[in-house]
Structure 1
Amino acid sequence: MTKEIYLPDEIKRFINEGAIFYISHSGGKDSQAMYALVKEIVPPNQIVVVHADLGEVEWEGVQDHIQTNIDHDLNVVRANKTFLGMVEQRGMWPSAAYRQCTSDLKRGPIFKFIRNDLKERGATIAINCMGLRAQESTSRAKKDPFTYNKMQSCNNRVIRHVYDWLPIFYFVTDEVFQTIANAGQEPFWAYERNERLSCVFCIMGCVNDLRHGAEQRPKLFRKYVELEKKIGHTMFMKGKDPISLDDHIGIKVLV
């Protein structure tokens, strides 16, 4: 039996009012489970699937996986910069406290798409659906799973109301995978080894996931290690001391 999604009364009302539900789909397990559940309650013509393309730092085959497991067109958006280019220009890697990768490469392009698409449709209500879950971290557990997004909303010449909705906020990992199985689908292949799915070498990734990335994408792994040396800043710390990516995961790269 599939666990029910978090469904506030406002969502039911917005469905009836013709709101457009924009599903941010990374190709990861949470996005996949979220889509499978949202499409059961929202009319097909009110669902739009959006993926932020991360370029070379994205796992190969992610977009094919998404398209295989959705019934809608996949809208792919891209930032006007690359992840590694952004890091080199700034001279620093993102951190848990400063996730420029999320804001500039994912959230920014997705919200730009939402604004433009909503305008083209002549609609005024957008529901930004994200697969964030309380179990993932203490900070995420403190989030409200349904909020009005003041930054993206507008009530002047253009009327636009944007809401952030976290449909599977209260799911635990096993329930996410069970939802995917109940939909008759398989999660992305990297989950055979990975705990989570984001960039191949994510600053939030555990050693196991990073090692898997290095094994699958050795050329990209070398690029990261070389860039660390070039800018004099590392992705990770060992206590209070910086540690190179290759030392961190125990796979040495000779540069």
Structure 2
Amino acid sequence: MPVIASVPAIDELIAAGSPVAIGVSGGKDSQAAALATVAHLDRIGHAGPRLLIHSDLGIVEWSDSHPMCDKLADHIGIDLVVVRRKAGGLMERWESRWESSRVRYETLSTVTLVPCWSTPDMRFCTSEMKTHIIVAELHRRFKGQTVINVTGIRRQESRKRAMATVATRQKDGRMWDWRPIIDWTVDEVFAEIDRHGLHPHPAYRGFGMSRVSCRFCIMSNLADIAAAAAQPEAHDLYRRMVGLESTSSFGFQGARWLGDIAPHLLDAGALQRFADGKIKALHRIAAEARIAPGMLYVKGWPTRMLTDAEADILAETRSRITNLFGFSSACLDRASIHHRYSELLAEHERRAA
């Protein structure tokens, strides 16, 4: 078996019997990390509590993902804890983000429309839907204890993850993130699963996908998205996601639109709405191109008053986008825009004070 990566701080916590929580998603890396970590803990005599923890993202999850976590827990012989976002799954989060963007645009609480989808640089799908919820549950479950949080992150996966460390202490000091298989190759991951007589998620060897997370993931390549769209269980989600692309005018992966992947899954009405959504995107981008960086908000607040010329540009842009989307927007002329900027600047100053 490949080497388990560790650091003295993790070794000391294990020796002291600290709780170990292993995050599992149903994918190959978390599956291998769980198998290897538990075997390692057994070898060195860890006597503290252990558990697997899975954050359920709702309808974006593959049907086999939760059962894979159950089978893994049964094989290892430790409990599986499942947590969920109370306000709904990831699809609901994307939809509510678009609704929030619309409302904020109408009230000039944002200068440009905000994309509804998570992105590689803004992965709230991971931070909000997984990390925050899992950390909160572990703090609640192991009050007053320092918890070791195991993840299956590997350096081979991406350029960003290539810079990851073996272990990181979280800011509150009550939890360590440990990446024991960080230097493993993908072949070693599959070999570890096979060695235990288990099967990896069927999406790998059955669907032909290179990575498994959500059915449609912002990080997926074109081949994986096409493979996902070919699975009947993903068709309802596909249509719902294309519907949000059409309504919002934002492609799921920026320049790559889900609606272009499997248009045969859409009826005539959905196809027309999708085509209209892509045209809206072109008009939106052209309209917002006139907005200079200094006119934008920083962390939700304007940085200065606009000139009359800038206010006129913003008024014209907002009018065009409001008509394009059928919004009920305020602040569509110079005077009301100046008033709104003044109002927000004063509110920001009050809060800062």
Match of 1:189 among 178, 202, 212: 202
Trace 1:108-147 onto structure 2 (pairs within 5 A).
108-119=132-143, 124-147=145-168
Q: Which secondary structure does the structure 2 equivalent of 1:59 belong to?
A: coil
Q: Which secondary structure does the structure 2 equivalent of 1:32 belong to?
A: helix
Residue 30 of structure 2 aligns with which residue?
Answer: 31
Query: Conserved in 2, the CA contact under 8 Å of 1:211 and 1:251?
Result: no
Match of 2:127 among 103, 107, 110: 103
Residue 156 of structure 1 aligns with which residue?
Answer: none
Largest Rg, 1 or 2: 2
Amino acid at match of 2:125: C
Amino acid at match of 1:208: A
Between Structure 1 and Structure 2, the one with more helix by share is 2
Matched, 1:232 2:249: yes
In 1: Cα distance, 2:186 partner to 2:222 partner: 19
**Over aligned residues, Cα RMSD in angstroms?**
1.5
Query: Conserved in 2, the CA contact under 8 Å of 1:213 and 1:221?
Result: no
Please list the CA deviations of residues 136-164 of structure 1 after superposition, one character each: whole Å capped at 9, or x if unmatched: 111111111211111x43xxxxxxx2111
Between Structure 1 and Structure 2, the one with more strand by share is 1
Unaligned 5+ runs, structure 1: 154-160
Q: Identity of aligned pairs, percent?
A: 32
In 2: Cα distance, 1:72 partner to 1:244 partner: 41
Matched, 1:75 2:105: no
In 2: Cα distance, 1:36 partner to 1:44 partner: 17
Greater mean deviation of Cα atoms: 80-89 or 188-197: 80-89
CA spacing shift, 1:243–1:125, aligned 2, 3 Å? closer
In 2: Cα distance, 1:243 partner to 1:14 partner: 45
The Cα of 1:12 is off from its aligned counterpart by 2.2
CA spacing shift, 1:44–1:32, aligned 2, 3 Å? farther
CA spacing shift, 1:58–1:11, aligned 2, 3 Å? same
Matched, 1:175 2:178: no
- TM-score w.r.t. the length of structure 2 is 0.65
The Cα of 1:208 is off from its aligned counterpart by 1.9
The Cα of 1:231 is off from its aligned counterpart by 1.6
Unaligned 5+ runs, structure 2: 99-115, 271-353
Residue 221 of structure 2 aligns with which residue?
Answer: 206
Query: Conserved in 2, the CA contact under 8 Å of 1:88 and 1:231?
Result: no
